[in-house]
Amino acid sequence: MDFDAVLVKCGNFGRYQLVLLLFYGCTNILSSLHYFAQTIISFTPEHWCYHEKLANASISYVRSMYAQTANPQCTLLEDIVDDQPIVASVGKCTEWIYAYDRGYRSITTDLKWICNDAYQAATGQSFFFLGSIIGTIFFGFLADKIGRLPALICTTLAGAFGDFLTSFVTSLPAFALFRFVSGLSNDTIFYLMYIMVFEYLSPEKRTFGLNVITAFFYCFGLILSPWYAIWVGSWRYYLYIASLPALIVLLYPLFICESAQWLIATERYDRAVNCLRRVAKFNKRIVEEEVFTQFRAYYEEKMVLDKKFNRNEDTFWGMFRTPRLRKFTIILLLKSMIVTISFDVISRNMEGLGSSPFTLFSVSSLAYIPGGLTIIFLQNRIGRKGMAFGSFFVSAIIVTVTGFMIAFLDPEKNAVLLAIMVALGRYGVIVSYDAEAQYAAEFIPTTVRGRGLANIHVIGYGFAMLSSYVIYLGLYFKPLPSIVISAVMLCGALLCLALPETLNQKLPETLKDGEDFARHQRWYYFPCFNRVQTNNNDAVEKQDTH
């Protein structure tokens, strides 16, 4: 009797799963506050070089003076005569006049990381992703060694500590170092909890439960975070308090138990049985002892049969030793790179579009709700591959159109239209990101799922180090980030066609299962089209019988 069969008897969508989903929701809020703190703290308001004659002038007057120059934000003035600016022939800006958005002071204004020094913010933020590479490897390894739950607690606290330390920085080296510490927990906060929910939840409710919680709770965190930042008025105060909610993770072991499938894979059968008993008790299910005896005997026998293969092959690098699994693993790595940098650039590129970046970020974050609902309603109908391909392709088109609009339309006069396009772009990349997460979790064999997802995300976030520089390209030509990302997402859509479908398939538990998985599927196989074809064939057969 395998794990899925026993979980049905213990309850695979009962009170325990609801509590698990509630904590998964808390994790989503923590993850959203943590990941997008780097966006909130670095919003740069409209600014102009300081001149003593403009010290007490209104913002509208300052704007009108500098509008007469070629580079309004970074042009040093020698004098102002009869409302005409005279540009200085030598020198550069050392002080600025800021049009603070609702009084909020960001790190870029406090540390003067603008104009010629704007690269410092991008450089410091890139260390966040460097930290995520190290942290994902370490915490992924830790998850497979000591368990998902203790690794989840450690990674969440590490990220909060990094955010707290960042609030004290006054220089680029310190900023880079503490963003590195903060990045150690990036994504592992989310995916370790994702794995635990994934394993204990009914396959029929998996898409619904995971994506509804992600959509609403992650969205909730994102919508409120810009207004919270405006309320406290400073990036330092924002980081002080935003790091504190992470302490809630210390309560997790009181209510949820370790991943039973991880315990099985590491031959800790007694603990796995105890976890399942706890689930059954929480769900008020009575399960006979014979069920657990059969469960243990099944996996002991399976482990004996697979022992030699598992000992030699069941590591992440074993996924590269056989041809089919190697091809699929490389594609998953490339997809992770593409979806991560696309998600980051589209979600953070909010400035210079005619609206307050705080308002635009908050309102466009509502896209998480339809994004999650799209996964729920379509993923089990058109399949994982169809969802991944379609979301990448449609997103590439949306981002391309947005790039053209940025290039040829006046942002001030078309702020609403651009806001709608930004929201649509976020919607598309959210669907792509969620589809990729479940796709990879289903395809990677159980025995290496923690390490596999960790390493795939490592590659993704290693590539995402470039996202800050992609956004920085907008200082030279505003549509450039959109152009780059649309091309990248189109490549991601094409890669999806080479992956097998996982919908309604027996998911692989070992590397041998992974190599043989969906061996007879063609690249053009989509469950939705196959279902139509099957129904047509059935109709023909019925006509023939008459």
Residue 112 forms part of a structural domain: no
Average pLDDT over every residue of 323-333: 87
- What is the rounded CA–CA span in Å between residue 274 and residue 271? 5
Q: Which of 263, 215, 195, 273 is nearest to 20 (CA)?
A: 195
Residue 178 has pLDDT above 80, yes or no: yes
Residue 113 forms part of a structural domain: no
Output the pLDDT for position 164: 95
Q: Residue 105 in 3-state DSSP?
A: strand
Q: What is the mean pLDDT of the chain?
A: 86
Name the helix (H) or strand (E) containing 21: helix 15-35
Residue 185 has pLDDT above 60, yes or no: yes
426, 367 Cβ separation under 8 angstroms: yes
Output the pLDDT for position 411: 85
- 336 Cβ neighbours under 8 A, 6+ residues apart: 436, 440, 456, 457, 459, 460, 463
Find the helix packing angle between 480-496 and 323-348, rounded to 10°: 150
41, 179 Cβ separation under 8 angstroms: no
Say if residue 353 is exposed, middle or buried (CB neighbours under 10 Å; 0-12, 13-18, 19+). Answer: buried
486, 336 Cβ separation under 8 angstroms: no
Q: Quick one: 354 and 429 in the same domain?
A: yes
User: Cβ–Cβ contacts within 10 Å for residue 408, how many?
Assistant: 9
Q: Quick one: 132 and 205 in the same domain?
A: yes
Average pLDDT over every residue of 174-187: 92
Q: Quick one: 406 and 514 in the same domain?
A: yes
Residue 39 forms part of a structural domain: no
Q: And the tokens for 535?
A: 């129904």
> For 264-307, what is each residue's pLDDT tens digit?
888 899 999 999 999 999 999 999 999 999 999 998 888 887 66
* Lowest pLDDT segment from 292-301, 387-396, 514-523: 514-523
Q: Quick one: 289 and 429 in the same domain?
A: no
Average pLDDT over every residue of 40-53: 91
Which of 245, 280, 313 is the last residue before a domain boundary?
313
> For 298-314, what is each residue's pLDDT tens digit?
988 888 876 655 454 46
Q: Quick one: 375 and 512 in the same domain?
A: yes
Name the helix (H) or strand (E) containing 120: helix 119-146
115, 93 Cβ separation under 8 angstroms: yes
Q: Quick one: 87 and 215 in the same domain?
A: no
371, 431 Cβ separation under 8 angstroms: yes
Average pLDDT over every residue of 159-174: 95
Confidence of residue 324 (pLDDT cuts 50, 70, 90): confident
Output the pLDDT for position 92: 85
Residue 104 forms part of a structural domain: no
Q: Quick one: 277 and 307 in the same domain?
A: yes
CATH code for the domain of 348: 1.20.1250.20
Residues composing the chain: 546
Q: Quick one: 400 and 493 in the same domain?
A: yes
Q: And the tokens for 175?
A: 């900023």
How many contiguous H segments (helices) and E segments (strands) does the chain have? 25, 4
Residue 542 has pLDDT above 70, yes or no: no
Q: Quick one: 374 and 249 in the same domain?
A: no
3-state secondary structure 413-457: CCHHHHHHHHHHHHHHHHHHHHHHHHHHHHHCCHHHHHHHHHHHH
Distance (Å) of CA 541 to CA 138, 410, 530, 537: 57, 61, 16, 6
The residue that leads in pLDDT, 74 or 352, is: 74
Output the pLDDT for position 315: 73
- DSSP alpha helix (H) spans, 323-414: 323-348, 357-364, 368-408
- DSSP alpha helix (H) spans, 248-367: 252-255, 260-265, 269-282, 289-313, 323-348, 357-364
- What is the rounded CA–CA span in Å between residue 295 and residue 165? 47
Which of 313, 335, 359 is the last residue before a domain boundary?
313
Q: Quick one: 197 and 239 in the same domain?
A: yes
Which of 265, 289, 313 is the last residue before a domain boundary?
313
Percentage of the chain exceeding pLDDT 70: 95
- What is the rounded CA–CA span in Å between residue 175 and residue 332? 32
Confidence of residue 537 (pLDDT cuts 50, 70, 90): very low
Residue 80 forms part of a structural domain: yes
* Lowest pLDDT segment from 70-74, 236-240, 335-339: 70-74
Residue 351 has pLDDT above 90, yes or no: no
The predicted model scores a pTM of 0.79
Structurally, the chain folds into a number of domains equal to: 3
Q: Quick one: 364 and 280 in the same domain?
A: no
6, 292 Cβ separation under 8 angstroms: yes
> For 454-465, what is each residue's pLDDT tens digit?
778 778 877 888
Output the pLDDT for position 225: 92
The partner residues of 85 in beta bridges, in order of sequence, read 80
User: Domain limits at 91?
Assistant: 46-99
Average pLDDT over every residue of 212-228: 89
Percentage of the chain exceeding pLDDT 90: 41
Residue 359 forms part of a structural domain: yes
292, 300 Cβ separation under 8 angstroms: no
Residue 38 forms part of a structural domain: no
Radius of gyration of the CA atoms of the chain, in A: 26
Residue 105 forms part of a structural domain: no
> For 464-485, what is each residue's pLDDT tens digit?
888 888 988 887 888 899 999 9
> For 420-436, what is each residue's pLDDT tens digit?
999 999 999 988 887 88
Q: Quick one: 330 and 306 in the same domain?
A: no
